[in-house]
Structure 1
Amino acid sequence: MKRNKISHIILVLLILVVFTTPTLASGSSRTLYYGHRGEDVLRLQKALNQKGYYHYYLDGIFGKITEKAVINFQIDHRIRIDGIAGPETIRTLYSSSSPSREGTNIRNYNTGDIYWLARIIEAEAGGEPYEGKVAVGNVILNRVSSKEFPNTIYNVIFEYYGSIPQFSPVADGTIYNTPSQESINAAKDSLNGMRPVGNSTYFFNPNKAAGTWIVKNKSYVSKIGGHVFYQ
């Protein structure tokens, strides 16, 4: 009799676990927060990216940038703001009716695009901080999107003004140097939508060039490392 009672209690507990543990649309049942790693974090990043909240390297690591993306999503959707991807956040994120942020239009780029973008980043910003590397990629992609410049990464990099190349690494040959892994990652991040300098289409190092025409004709955006950025 006692054994039957214990078995009954165990059965009830199992039923409670099954019906109270959330099954998330992402395929994960765990709550995700800072420090977590894995495929479920990668799925979270991809979903946030598609909704316009995450513009960084998709690495499956729940760091500060992922946490900030989650917080921004929670703010916009008026759910509990804690930076934790729990059942309510995940359910809202994976809902087909969940709106996306305006202005997110991530293109599909091929390996050749990454190859050349990483090379110009390495040549122009090899000694710059990571954000400065991504910023150079940001500028190149802004030019691709602008009607004032060629519409491919390769053609933007190798564009000439008269007989002078737009980028000095093309003139001195450093465009052909092998990029570091950090420059490759920066290329991927800029292609994924990371925009530290917004709509900037020009940059220069004031310690190496006066940039007179840019300063007179364009609007200052920001300074990152040794480069100043204009739009």
Structure 2
Amino acid sequence: MKKITHIILLILIFTIISIPASASGYSRTLMYGHKGDDVIELQRILNQKGYYNYKIDGIYGIITERTVIDFQIDNHIRIDGIAGPETINTLYSNFSTSSTGGTSNKKYTDGDIYWLARIIEAEAGGESYKGKVAIGNVILNRVNSKEFPNTIYNVIFDYYGSIPQFSPVANGTIYNTPSQESINAAKDAINGLRPVGNSTYFFNPNKTAGTWIVKNKTYVTKIGEHVFYQ
């Protein structure tokens, strides 16, 4: 009887150990070839973090694996394309909107901040901090305008006909990893810093004439290499 009790206790201990440390409810290590609701959950969280922007289909294919690798690279954890305990715990460790100063804006997710930081980095990586916040200011003004899509991601990937509204979408630099300064600028823009007021357009006169903007919009200011219009 004691032997049976001992065996039961061992089974319970191993069962507890096998439960993931994450509070997310994953019951297995996810990897290429897996399918199921847990893969759907993984894709959903990666999407909200700003990484996975494809069909959420519950299939751990090449795209999901590549997205996991991107997340692992950015978070300096083991790079293997496998969603094991370390990756899952990192995904859930800071699943909230954080801020640097001011009041946290619950309207935007971590994914929104990340995409805003990406467009800031792509458009103003070499600009001053004020210039970086200004780009975020413009994107958010578009989000809040009836003339443009109502999410950060959709504003960034908005097209006029077959032409992207922002050149980094066309040349692929939108997918570069943003610097910490660009991330901070995104947070400050979300928290209310508005160095260019109601501007919804900007361009670099050294790279483009911006003819339509100049003729149809009102000049606001110039910061670094960019001029801003509303």
* Range of TM-score over shorter length: 0.5 to 0.7
- Runs of at least 5 residues in structure 2 that lack an aligned partner in the other structure: 1-98
Question: Secondary structure in 2 aligned to 1:143?
Answer: helix
- Cα distance in 2 for partners of 1:112, 1:191 equals 13
Question: Secondary structure in 1 aligned to 2:184?
Answer: helix
Number of the residue aligned with 1:161:
160
- Cα distance in 1 for partners of 2:164, 2:106 equals 26
Letter in 1 for 2:213: I
Number of the residue aligned with 1:144:
143
Matched, 1:122 2:165: no
- Cα distance in 1 for partners of 2:107, 2:152 equals 13
1:176-196, CA deviations, whole angstroms, 9 ceiling, x for partnerless residues?
000000000000000001000
Between the two proteins, the alignment pairs up a number of residues equal to: 132
- Cα distance in 1 for partners of 2:184, 2:213 equals 28
- Cα distance in 2 for partners of 1:223, 1:122 equals 18
Number of the residue aligned with 2:101:
58
Identical amino acids, percent of aligned pairs? 83
- Cα distance in 2 for partners of 1:114, 1:171 equals 21
- Cα distance in 1 for partners of 2:197, 2:114 equals 22
Question: Secondary structure in 1 aligned to 2:212?
Answer: helix
- Cα distance in 1 for partners of 2:196, 2:114 equals 22
- Runs of at least 5 residues in structure 1 that lack an aligned partner in the other structure: 1-55, 60-103
- Cα distance in 2 for partners of 1:155, 1:120 equals 12
Question: Secondary structure in 2 aligned to 1:221?
Answer: strand
Displacement after TM superposition at 1:107 (Å): 5.5
- Cα distance in 1 for partners of 2:172, 2:125 equals 14
Which ranges of 4 or more aligned residues in structure 1 deviate by more than 3 Å?
A: none
Scaled by the length of structure 2, the TM-score of the pair is 0.55
Number of the residue aligned with 2:112:
113
1:1-49, CA deviations, whole angstroms, 9 ceiling, x for partnerless residues?
xxxxxxxxxxxxxxxxxxxxxxxxxxxxxxxxxxxxxxxxxxxxxxxxx
Structure with higher Rg: it is 1
